[in-house]
């Protein structure tokens, strides 16, 4: 993904802002009814008025470049000024707009003139958000102050609605620039924390105000303004400001500056500087002195480096000069100035209004060194967020990149007259390690208005990574500060990201420059970082959408095409396959595109002709190809099963009688009759239909959930072009609920319908291991509490089809050994607490095992007549002396006994039980592990739980005639004992 120039916000009425700043005619109608014809002034006035309009029209769409613009780094307040007029705007939501989107735009909150002296104009602006000290909004902005500099030299600070907080005259020259440096966390370990300050540049002086002092003073002033407004007063008493005033020496004139903060030289630079200043006899201090570094752009030299050593200049406590409020109460002015002037009256304030405050002399600060160029004039300079690089523009149309620490120019660009500069610091996303610091990349933004182009360059020696054709009348705003009032603790809780660089267009749109980190890298690292950025973008699209749309599919296809590395492409495929709302058909199309892309390059899939050279795939690409093939095969299985389930839902279930049951199960009709009676009697005795577990009525399972149940293990040998392993297995971490849901989706329609044979054919081509398929079938079947005997033939067909997929040598073993395949089936049935389902599964498994064993013994050339008589052979050889058959028969008898005990435990006498406890359940394993006496223990626990009287246990069961002769008071006992007698008829072992 490349750079983007996205619209961040916009002005709601940019035309109104322009008209207020430029089209306000200075020729207003006179109050009296003077006639210009009598005085012969008409032609002159018309000519002057026409010149004024022509000047305004001559600006055209470049009027924005004539303005002084200040934008808050939180992107909530912006101020646009021209001459003495200013418009302050805030982002607000207008409910009257029916755009359908909850978007905010800049709306005018105050506009007017800030001039307090004749001919006074605004020359510099800065919007500084102040951090909130409330616990609920810690780390966020509380309010925003507006700092304005004037041609008279005054510095005035206002609130967002134009209310004046304080006014101060530091120096009687035009204010050239106002810049702020706020606290930020060190970019690299070991760097000192930089203090906050506000720097004001005059032509020959530099004033720096301590940030902490300014922050506290502004809070006090704002509180005083609020109290004065509430009381109807127009007097406030601001505290003094602590500032330093430097007289910059060594340059002919200065047009711009930056404050680089506190720097500490290394020992070598310290000794070098001491030798250059004091000679070879100069004394060197043991500790390098800390200095505040200021860089200036101007002439003679072109760039100057000023080092103000800590402690060399004492802070000055100012006498803050304020004015009286206007009649609209939009600005409040101080009545008394100075540290000792508290409590002064409004009358004294009015007298002192016309008096200019005392101007403190500047402390001389000589230039340490510079970048000399006699003819070159520096016009602007900006500092990078890392405080390591600075960029300047000059009168020759050059852009210079300067190393702040070394004081040298490291790069130059030509052909950028009237250029505007900015820096953007981009951090890498998704590195994973929390202990390692995030990598950051620095980009230089160059806007050339004469060419109408905006370029993005990677620093220091990087190439141009992006270029945009933009309007020639735009204004590039570079914000080198954040919120004022933060510290090392609160800075970490800042939630609102600071806006670093933006482009303001004449039509009112404010565009932010978004640069991906990977553009700063090169070669392999750049490709991987770019792919990771594309992957992140695709994940964002999938997360923000909730249904499959054509636009989403187009975005996914574009991202998959742009991603080049196989490892990242596989991550993208995994994310697509895990999205639930995407259809299986679309997933299959994405996989088929990748297979078609990689398969021609795979020597195994498409071997090249003799003498033909083809580019072979690397290991990652080959593994991706195999992964896509496995997932595509699973999707084919999913689509086929889903179609089969849909068809079975609309197909009536065939009827099954005892004869069909006997033929399908390969057992005698007498045994079929015996088993049917056993199942029916158990269902009648249990007589608890509300407790029966039924298969889920729905078999719906999304393709993503289906694929999420399996894991693909790929192992490819690097020496040999073969796939050594290609496995699809059920995930070991899969919960029982998900396993049962998967089994229901695959086998429910086949067990309860008539699609067992079709499903068996489908399972032959899927990659799921046979033992896991058998486990899923048994888990689904054993989840039932009661068995419908008509579904046993379907279970037989399923188990028979799955068993045939297994190697025959693992199933049929010697007669004196147990088959591991069938032993696994018996173990699951022994552990089941649903004896009815377990008995049906054991009988079915025994029939399948007998059928496969018999088919192996019969000769291959057996004719059809012998196949018809195979039933007699099976019946004659039923008592075959094999180890497996012995265990089958024993387990059948054991489950019949467990079935009888379970039926007893399901009996529920009328009335509430005497004691409440967990339901008593039994299985073959539980009874065998309980040892001797476990049967009596289980029955005794059941008797105590149900509260059965001892007399009821001693009575014999009554026949029908005796029950009719009993009185009504013994009806309950007779019914219960009748059921108990039925249990005695069931238990044989």
Residue whose tokens read 């929390």: 434
Q: How many CB atoms lie within 10 A of CB 915?
A: 10
Task: Label residue 190 by pLDDT band (50, 70, 90).
Answer: low
Q: Which residue has the tokens 């994405």?
A: 590
pLDDT at 974 over 50: no
Is the pLDDT at 401 greater than 80? The verdict is yes
Q: Is 139 left (phi over 0), alpha (psi -120 to 50) or beta?
A: left
Region of poorest pLDDT, from 141-145, 544-548, 652-656, 826-830: 652-656
596-625 per-position pLDDT tens digit: 888 887 666 555 545 444 567 788 888 888
User: What's the DSSP call for residue 331?
Assistant: S
Q: What is the mean pLDDT of residues 319-341?
A: 37
Q: What is the pLDDT of residue 968?
A: 40
Specify the pLDDT at position 855: 74
Please, what is the average pLDDT of the chain? 79
Average pLDDT over residues 676-699: 62
The SS3 call for residue 183 is coil
Q: For position 99, what pLDDT does the model report? A: 55
Lowest mean per-residue pLDDT among 194-208, 527-541, 672-686, 734-748: 672-686
Give 469 or 910, the one with higher predicted confidence: 469
| Confidence category of residue 665, pLDDT binned at 50, 70, 90 | confident
Is pLDDT at 382 greater than 50 in this prediction? yes
Element (H, E) at 923: none
Q: How far is CA 397 from the centre of its chain?
A: 43
Helix (H, G, I), strand (E, B) or coil at 970: helix
Tabulate helix, strand, coil % of the chain (nearest 5): 40, 20, 40
The token pair that represents 705 in the structure block: 């959930």
Question: Is the confidence at residue 576, as pLDDT, over 90?
Answer: yes
What is the reported pLDDT for 462?
Answer: 85
Which of 565-579, 710-724, 813-827 has maximum average pLDDT?
565-579
3-state secondary structure 218-258: HHHHHHHHHHHHHHCCCCCCCCCCEEEEEEEECCCEEEEEE
Cα separation of the two ends of the chain: 75
Whether the pLDDT of residue 255 is over 90: the answer is yes
Q: What mean pLDDT do residues 456-476 have?
A: 91
Segment holding 8, helix H or strand E? strand 4-10
Q: Are 711 and 731 in contact (CB under 8 A)?
A: yes
pLDDT grade, residue 49 (50/70/90)?
very low
């Amino acid at each position: 993904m490349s750079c983007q120039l996205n619209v961040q916000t916009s002005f709601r009425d940019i035309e109104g802002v322009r008209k207020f700043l430029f089209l306000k005619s200075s020729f207003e109608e006179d109050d009296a009814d003077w006639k210009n014809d009598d005085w012969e002034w008409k032609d002159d006035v018309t000519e002057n008025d026409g010149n004024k309009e022509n000047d305004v029209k001559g600006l055209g769409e470049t009027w924005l470049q004539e303005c002084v613009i200040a934008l808050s780094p939180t992107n909530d307040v912006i101020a646009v000024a021209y001459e003495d007029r200013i418009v302050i705007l805030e982002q607000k939501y207008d409910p009257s707009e029916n755009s359908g989107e909850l978007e905010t735009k800049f709306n005018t909150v105050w506009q007017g003139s800030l001039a307090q002296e004749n001919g006074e104009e605004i020359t510099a602006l800065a919007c500084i958000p102040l951090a909130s000290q409330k616990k609920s909004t810690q780390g966020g902005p509380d309010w925003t102050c507006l700092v304005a500099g004037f041609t008279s030299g005054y510095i005035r600070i206002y609130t967002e609605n134009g209310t004046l907080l304080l006014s101060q005259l530091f120096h009687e020259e035009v204010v050239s620039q106002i810049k702020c440096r706020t606290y930020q966390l060190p970019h690299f370990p070991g760097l000192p924390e930089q203090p906050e300050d506000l720097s004001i540049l005059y032509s020959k002086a530099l004033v720096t105000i301590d940030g902490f002092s300014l922050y506290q003073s502004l809070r006090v002033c704002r509180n005083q303004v609020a109290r004065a407004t509430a009381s109807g007063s127009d007097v406030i008493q601001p505290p003094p400001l602590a500032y330093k005033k430097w007289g910059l020496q060594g340059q002919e004139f200065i047009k711009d500056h930056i404050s680089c903060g506190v720097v500490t030289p290394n020992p070598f630079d310290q000794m070098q500087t001491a030798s250059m200043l004091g000679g070879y006899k100069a004394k060197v201090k043991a500790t390098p002195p800390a200095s505040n570094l200021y860089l200036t752009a101007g002439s003679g030299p072109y760039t100057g480096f000023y080092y103000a050593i800590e402690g060399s200049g004492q802070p000055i406590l100012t006498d803050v000069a304020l004015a009286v409020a206007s009649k609209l109460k939009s600005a409040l002015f101080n009545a008394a100035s100075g540290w000792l002037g508290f409590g002064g009256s409004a009358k004294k304030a009015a007298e002192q209004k016309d008096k200019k405050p005392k101007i403190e002399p500047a402390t001389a600060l000589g230039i340490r060194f510079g970048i000399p160029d006699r003819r070159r004039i520096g016009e602007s300079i900006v500092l990078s967020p890392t405080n390591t690089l600075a960029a300047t523009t000059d009168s020759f149309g050059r852009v210079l990149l300067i190393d702040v620490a070394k004081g040298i120019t490291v790069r130059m660009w030509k052909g950028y007259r009237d250029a505007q500069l900015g820096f953007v610091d981009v951090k890498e996303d998704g590195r994973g390690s929390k202990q390692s610091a995030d990598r950051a990349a620095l980009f230089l933004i160059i806007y050339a208005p004469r060419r109408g182009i905006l370029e993005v360059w990677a620093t220091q020696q990087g190439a141009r990574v992006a270029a945009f054709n933009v309007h020639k009348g735009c204004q590039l705003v570079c914000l080198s500060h954040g919120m004022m009032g933060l510290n090392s603790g609160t800075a970490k809780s800042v939630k609102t990201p600071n806006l670093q660089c933006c482009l303001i267009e004449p039509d009112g749109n404010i565009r932010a420059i978004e640069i991906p980190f990977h553009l700063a890298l090169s070669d392999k690292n750049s490709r991987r970082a770019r792919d990771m950025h594309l992957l992140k973008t695709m994940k964002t699209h999938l997360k923000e959408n909730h249904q499959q749309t054509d636009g989403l599919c187009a975005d996914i296809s574009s991202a998959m095409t742009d991603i080049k590395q196989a490892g990242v492409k596989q991550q993208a495929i995994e994310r697509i396959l895990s999205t639930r709302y995407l259809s299986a058909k679309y997933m299959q199309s994405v996989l088929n595109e990748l297979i078609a892309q990689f398969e021609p390059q795979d020597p195994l899939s498409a071997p090249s002709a003799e003498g033909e050279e083809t580019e072979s795939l690397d290991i990652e690409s080959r593994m991706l190809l195999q992964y896509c093939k496995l997932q595509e095969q699973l999707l084919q299985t999913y689509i086929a099963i889903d179609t089969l389930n849909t068809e079975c839902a609309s197909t009536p279930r065939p009827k099954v009688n005892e004869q069909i049951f006997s033929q399908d199960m390969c057992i005698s009709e007498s045994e079929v009759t015996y088993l049917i009676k056993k199942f029916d009697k158990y269902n009648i005795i249990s007589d608890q239909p509300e407790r029966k577990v039924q298969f889920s009525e729905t078999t719906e399972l999304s393709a993503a959930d289906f694929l999420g149940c399996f894991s693909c293990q790929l192992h490819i040998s690097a020496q040999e072009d073969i796939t050594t392993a290609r496995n699809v297995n059920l995930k070991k971490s899969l919960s029982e609920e998900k396993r049962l849901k998967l089994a229901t989706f695959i086998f429910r329609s086949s067990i309860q319908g008539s699609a067992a044979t079709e499903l068996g054919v489908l399972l032959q081509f899927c990659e799921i291991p046979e033992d896991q398929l058998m486990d899923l079938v048994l888990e689904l079947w054993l989840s039932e509490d009661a068995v419908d005997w008509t579904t046993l033939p379907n279970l037989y067909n399923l188990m028979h089809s799955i068993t045939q997929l297994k190697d025959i040598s693992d199933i049929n073993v010697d007669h004196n050994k147990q088959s591991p395949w069938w032993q696994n089936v018996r173990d699951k049935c022994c552990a089941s607490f649903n004896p009815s389902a377990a008995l049906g599964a054991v009988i079915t498994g025994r029939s399948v095992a007998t059928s496969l064993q018999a088919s192996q013994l019969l000769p291959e050339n057996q004719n059809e007549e012998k196949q018809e008589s195979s039933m007699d052979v099976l019946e004659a050889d039923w008592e075959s002396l094999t180890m497996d058959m012995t265990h089958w028969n024993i387990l059948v008898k054991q489950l019949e006994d467990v079935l009888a005990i379970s039926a007893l435990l399901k009996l529920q006498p009328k009335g509430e039980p005497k004691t409440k406890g967990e339901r008593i359940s039994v299985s073959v394993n539980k009874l065998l592990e309980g040892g001797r006496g476990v049967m009596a223990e289980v029955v005794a626990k059941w008797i105590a739980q149900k509260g059965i009287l001892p007399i009821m246990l001693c009575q014999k069961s009554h026949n029908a005639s005796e029950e009719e002769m009993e009185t009504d008071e013994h009806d309950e006992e007779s019914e219960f004992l009748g059921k108990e007698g039925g249990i005695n008829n069931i238990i044989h072992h």
